[in-house]
Amino acid sequence: MPDASLEAFRSELVEWLEANCPASLRPGATSTKEDRDSWQQVYIERGYTMPTWPREYGGGGLSKDEARVLSHEMGRFANWVPVASFFGTSMLGPVLLEFGNEEQKKEHLPKIVSCEIQWCQGYSEPGAGSDLASLQTRAVRDGDKYIINGSKIWTTGANNADWIFCLTRTDPDAAKHDGISFILFDLRQPGVTISPIQLISGASEFCQVFFQDVKAEARNLVGTLNGGWTIAKRLLQHERAMLSGGTGGGGERPQAKKGPVPAPTSALAEAARAHLGEKQGQLADYPLRDRIAQNEMDALCFGLTLKRSGEQAKAGQGPGPATSMFKLYASELNKRRSEILMSVRGAAALGWSGDEFTPLDIMETRGWLRSKGNSIEGGTSEVQLNVIAKRVLGLPD
């Protein structure tokens, strides 16, 4: 039997969508930037970029069931859903809700919801990659501020970020995991130098960031002094869930309609059909056809497992060590898919630049090269295997 209060919410929501969603954003229409911008502003004012966050922090204040209704109705009404910065919504926001004090929540969470502040993550260092707790970036208390010196590397999006959530060593004499603090500070200040790193794919999404006598307000220490490792681990669980597709930042992904889960649309099969042709109604290359079918089945099973796990997490305490399993599998699945796609495209997979290759050829070649980083970013696959062994399977050190 339908929940009366939930159906009342749905009716109110549909009425609001009818009144506010621009016609150019309805399914089948062609949207304009002006309409997307105005729709995003209306969406933000309702707190719907983070629908389940409390209203006092800029969120929508919806229950999980109401958020699912929002996701479903948005899928029916609009061909474009505004989203906020994933570093803020999927990583920093959840740990601020869990570990931040009231002042920090009221200052930072609304700016994440409204996309006013873009965040990046200051974890990895040149001498502390997979061994994250070996970090050496120092923060020393000076009155009402911390003075920060050191360097972070592989900092995604630092060149476009306004603020950073950063792990710093605040007690060099303490045990390795005990002298670390989690501090927030402004990246756009004197003493910060940001250098993009050129990748094999030709992109520069990663940066090295240098801090020389950079200042952080002491009130932006999250949690307790020297207690940052606990927050760091929690945030990594959120990051792995996000990288594996296990969270949507506050709601489900939009769905076009109710009913059974449809058969997956196979972009791989379409690419193969264009390059290899068909024989008796099937892809002409039998070995490749088998690889594509296996990859599609794996992706479907993985998606269903993520959905089941997400429902369990919503009913419990959020993401746990099992996110390492999902991050590991998502990395390998995407790398296999990219390898198959390159096999399908034949000589077109050599496309890097020049008029002899289409923009799609070039994009997919660079995407294949980019996929090599999947098993390194967000904690290497070796780190994930260690977490699975110790935290999931309970194996001894």
The answer to whether 99 touches 234, Cβ cutoff 8 Å, is yes
First to last CA, the chain: 51
Residues whose CB is less than 8 angstroms from the CB of residue 284 and which lie 6 or more positions away in sequence, other chains included = 276, 277, 278
DSSP string, 135-166: ---EEEEETTEEEEEEEE-S-TTGGG-SEEEE
Segments of the chain assigned E as strands: 119-122, 138-142, 145-152, 163-169, 180-186, 192-197, 206-217, 221-222, 278-279, 282-283
CA–CA dist 292, 112 (Å, integer): 39
CA–CA dist 278, 281 (Å, integer): 6
Alpha-carbon dihedral sign for residues 230, 234, 237, 238: negative
The answer to whether 158 touches 207, Cβ cutoff 8 Å, is yes
Residue 86 corresponds to which amino acid?
F
Catalytic residues: 239
At residue 19, φ and ψ (nearest 5 deg) are -80, -25
**Backbone Cα Rg of the chain:** 23
CA–CA dist 26, 30 (Å, integer): 8
Residue 7 token pair: 């159906």
At residue 54, φ and ψ (nearest 5 deg) are -60, 150
The region, left, alpha or beta by phi > 0 then psi within -120 to 50, assigned to residue 206 is beta
For residue 97, with 0-12 CB atoms within 10 Å meaning exposed, 13-18 middle and 19 or more buried, which class applies?
Answer: middle
CA–CA dist 124, 307 (Å, integer): 30
The answer to whether 330 touches 343, Cβ cutoff 8 Å, is no
Question: For residue 227, what is the DSSP state?
Answer: B
Length of the chain: 397
The region, left, alpha or beta by phi > 0 then psi within -120 to 50, assigned to residue 346 is left
